Amino acid sequence: MSSDNTTIVMYSTTWCPDCRRAKRFFDEHGITYRWIDIDKDRSAAQQVMRMNGGMRRVPTIIFSDGSVLVEPSNGELAQKIGVS
């Protein structure tokens, strides 16, 4: 399964274990996504904080349907993208 790399946007950091896990999940399932490091992109960090009540919670993942998952488990990601 694959999607356009602009369809899924993952706000993340390089040091976050949940971010690395979500990235690995997408990579293992052939899901393309746009990865944005909020430690290097100030406006992205501000966007994450707006979406999460002032908190820098990552990964914050936005899907093409406008839905958002914050710190999702692999099960939640699998359900969202329709893989098992």
Query: Domain of 13: which CATH number?
Result: 3.40.30.10
Q: How many CA atoms are closer than 13 Å to the CA of 21, on its beta-carbon side?
A: 14
In a domain, 2, yes or no: no
In a domain, 36, yes or no: yes
Owning domain of residue 22? 9-72
Q: What is the pTM of this model?
A: 0.89
Q: Into how many domains does the chain fold?
A: 1
**Sign, Cα dihedral of 76, 81, 82, 84:** negative
In a domain, 78, yes or no: no
Q: What angle do CA 37, 39, 42 make, to 5 degrees?
A: 95
- 14-68 residue pLDDT tens: 999 999 999 999 999 999 999 999 999 999 999 999 999 999 999 999 999 999 9
The yes-or-no verdict on residue 6 having pLDDT over 80 is: no
Q: What angle do CA 41, 12, 7 make, to 5 degrees?
A: 90
Confidence at 7, pLDDT banded by 50, 70, 90: confident
